Amino acid sequence: MIGFFKKGLSKTLDVIKEVLPEKVQKIQKEILEEILIESDVPYELVEEIIYYLPPQDAVEEKDVKRVLKSYFIYDVQTKEIPPKPFVELVIGVNGAGKTTTIAKLANNYKKEGKKVLLGASDTFRAAAIEQLTRWAEKLGIPIVSTKQGHDPSAVAFDAISSGNAKGMDHVIIDTAGRLHNQTNLSNELKKIVRICDKAKSGAPNRKILVLDGTQGSSAINQAKAFNEIVGVDAVIITKLDGTAKGGALFAIAKELKLPIIYIGVGESMDDLIAFDADEYIDTILSSIFVRDDGKI
């Protein structure tokens, strides 16, 4: 798994190496500040991280890890496992990699032996329906779709109903990429959520926001807007391998206080990996510190 994180954070690790060519036993705080800022950690958050470190000028890996890990401790209430199918509504703006992420997520479930059905509720763009349909065919899983311009809520209702009738484990529903200032699309998204609950009480069981990792910390305002519209349960960060802004995940975790459940680290179907805060932090720190066992 560490290998996947190194792949996904490769450009961020390159930036760290430019700032700190040789690994150290202890790092000067001013160098750590520079590394964090270059990795797209917002300045205010960098100052906070430095504040919570021990008072000496140079600090050890264990102290840095303790502070960084604190940003991934969420106060998330445990929900009862709902009756099948588990319905996930995937939201986010166009260009974030939402449709491809849905395919990768479906592929993950399929590899676990789960039965998956897709719902093409992005009826705003014909290309979105076609793209998701191609992925469904490639993965060999069923899809419920309609024509461009049709009611996306009806598609969501039919997808959940079909998933229930066919004994599916998961129903994943795509939605139109929308911005928070597009009132009509925002209202449409709220309607989809209401109709999902009519199709299956409690659905959608998880609302997943897909964020483009190349946007770094600027994705936070976008995320807050979606959270205000329908309430977000979890986040997936895409395109992490294509950016040096890997440090933005700290800001996303702090500001949203929502679990990051997956990260996208490449183009293949297997490049959506479960997010693990310890491995994420270890991957970053391994490029800074010489480990006690002498490994580098």
Q: Give the residue with greater pLDDT, 116 vs 181.
A: 116
pLDDT for 278: 94
* 82 prior amide bond cis, ω within 30: no
Tens digits of per-residue pLDDT, 35-85?
999 999 999 999 999 999 999 999 999 999 999 999 998 766 666 778 899
Residues of each domain in the chain carrying CATH 3.40.50.300: 86-275
The neighbouring-strand residues paired with 116 are: 170
Q: 2-74+281-285 is classed in which CATH architecture?
A: Up-down Bundle (1.20)
29, containing H or E segment: helix 29-38
> Are 292 and 18 a contacting pair, CB within 8 Å?
no
Global pTM reads 0.92
Q: For residue 255, what are its two tokens?
A: 């500001």
196 within 8 A of 90, measured Cβ to Cβ: no
Instruction: Identify the residue with better confidence: 31 or 247.
Output: 31
Per-residue pLDDT at 142 exceeds 90 = yes
* Numbered ranges of CATH 1.20.120 in the chain: 2-74+281-285
For residue 220, what pLDDT band results from cuts at 50, 70 and 90?
confident
Q: How far apart, in Å, are the Cα atoms of 102 and each of 17, 97, 208?
A: 34, 9, 10
Task: List the CATH code of the domain at 86-275.
Answer: 3.40.50.300
